[in-house]
């Protein structure tokens, strides 16, 4: 299964693609979509959408995972991040992909083992778990989202398979 992890931002949105087979992960690609800092908000959101569309078209993932937004003290910044996050959720959903959302703490726990890990620790573990992934900060965060989803989706499949076995034995 090919997964894309997305770390939303209006100026910088990280993305990371991994292939997951059982409990094995392989880095495919990663990067950052950089949007102009100036200009009309609608145009900047459209630029983000086009960038995501190009990544989705190129790597054809089977599912997307997105980091949930934390509430910022600055209401205007939080609103703009929410708008960007809406675009990040829309782009894969518009292509019919299932989209999963994970909190920052769960992502950190899944990758580092500690819910309040620092960005440096996340990047270090991403590089350990995905050899050859030379990812900058935003892309490393996105790969962490993909890793988190791979772990949780794998666990969900195991539990579903066990339930199916129980049902067939009845």
* pLDDT single digits (tens) 110-121: 999 887 888 899
Task: Assess whether 67 carries a catalytic annotation.
Answer: yes
Residue 66 CA to residue 68 CA, distance in Å, equals 6
Q: Which of 19, 57, 67, 163 is catalytic?
A: 67
Task: Assess whether 138 carries a catalytic annotation.
Answer: yes
- With a cut of 80, say whether residue 170 has pLDDT above it: no
Q: Which of 62, 101, 138, 163 is catalytic?
A: 138
How much is the pLDDT for 168? 57
* pLDDT single digits (tens) 33-71: 999 999 999 999 999 999 999 999 999 999 999 999 776
Q: Which of 7, 19, 141, 163 is catalytic?
A: 7
Tell me phi and psi for residue 13, to 5 degrees.
-115, 115
Task: Assess whether 19 carries a catalytic annotation.
Answer: no
Tell me phi and psi for residue 154, to 5 degrees.
-65, -45
- 112 neighbors 122 (Cβ within 8 angstroms): yes
Q: Quickly tell me which residue has 């693609």 as its tokens.
A: 17
Which residue from 118, 61, 112, 49 is spatially nearest to 86, judged by alpha carbons?
A: 49
Between 98 and 74, residue with greater pLDDT: 98
**Per-residue burial over 53-71, b = 16 or more CB atoms within 10 Å of its CB, e = otherwise:** eebbeebebebbbbbebee
* pLDDT single digits (tens) 4-28: 999 999 999 999 999 999 889 999 9
Instruction: Give the residues across from 25 on adjacent strands.
Output: 20
Domains present along the chain, CATH in parentheses: 2-169 (3.30.420.10)
CA 72, 74, 77, 78 dihedral sign is positive
């Amino acid at each position: 299964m090919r997964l894309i992890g997305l770390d939303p931002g209006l100026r910088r949105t990280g993305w990371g693609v991994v292939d997951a087979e059982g409990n094995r992960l392989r880095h495919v690609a990663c990067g950052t979509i950089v949007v102009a800092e100036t200009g009309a908000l609608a145009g900047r959101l459209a630029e983000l959408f086009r960038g995501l569309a190009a990544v989705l078209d190129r790597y054809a993932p089977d599912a997307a995972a997105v980091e949930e937004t934390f509430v910022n003290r600055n209401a205007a910044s939080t609103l703009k991040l929410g708008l960007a996050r809406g675009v990040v959720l829309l782009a894969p959903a518009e292509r019919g992909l299932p989209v999963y959302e994970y909190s920052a703490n769960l992502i950190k726990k899944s990758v580092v083992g500690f819910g309040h890990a620092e960005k440096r620790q996340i990047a270090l573990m991403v590089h350990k778990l995905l050899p050859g992934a030379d990812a900058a900060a935003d892309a490393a965060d996105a790969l962490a989202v993909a890793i988190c989803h791979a772990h949780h989706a794998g666990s969900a499949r195991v539990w579903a398979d066990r339930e199916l076995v129980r049902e067939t034995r009845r």
